[in-house]
Amino acid sequence: MSDSLDQLAQALQQFADAREWGPFHSPKNLASALVVEAGELLEPFQWLTEDQSRHLPADTKEAVAMEMADVLLYLVQLGNALDVDLVAAAQRKMVINARKYPVEQARGNATKAEGA
């Protein structure tokens, strides 16, 4: 992981260790919590137009930022639990996506590739 993600992962581990949360932080539980937080991230956008979703009021944007942080924190903890280097995995996935969605075919096209 990058230095900043490594530092975040270490800080999260220390935070959880100090509270003796290890027994509760199984990969299954962390993945479940991640999905719950992702749902909470979606809530402020419900019923907004595209334009409204791009121009959130400051208080809504801050609430969205906190939900994004929750998603990131659980994802980093899940990476820790499964010993997955998230940055390396994301880089591998970008290479796969570049092959799956070549620029000349994907530019301006939101259609998902077959088998994706």
Model pLDDT for residues 73-84, shown as the tens digit of each residue: 999 999 999 999
pLDDT of 107 strictly over 70: yes
User: Alpha-carbon distance 9 to 13, whole Å?
Assistant: 6
pLDDT at 47: 97
How many residues in the chain?
116
For residues 3-8, average pLDDT: 90
Residue type, 46: Q
Q: What are the residues whose beta carbons fall under 8 Å from the beta carbon of 17, sequence distance 6 or more? A: none
pLDDT of 2 strictly over 70: no
Average pLDDT over the chain, rounded to whole?
93
pLDDT of 6 strictly over 60: yes
Distance of CA 56 to the CA centre of its chain: 20
Q: Exposed, middle or buried: residue 80 (CB in 10 Å: 0-12, 13-18, 19+)?
A: buried
pLDDT at 112: 76
Question: What is the number of other CB atoms lying within 10 angstroms of the CB of residue 78?
Answer: 20
Structural domains of the chain, with CATH: 3-106 (1.10.287.1080)
Model pLDDT for residues 9-48, shown as the tens digit of each residue: 999 999 999 999 999 999 999 999 999 999 999 999 999 9
Residue 45: its H or E element: none
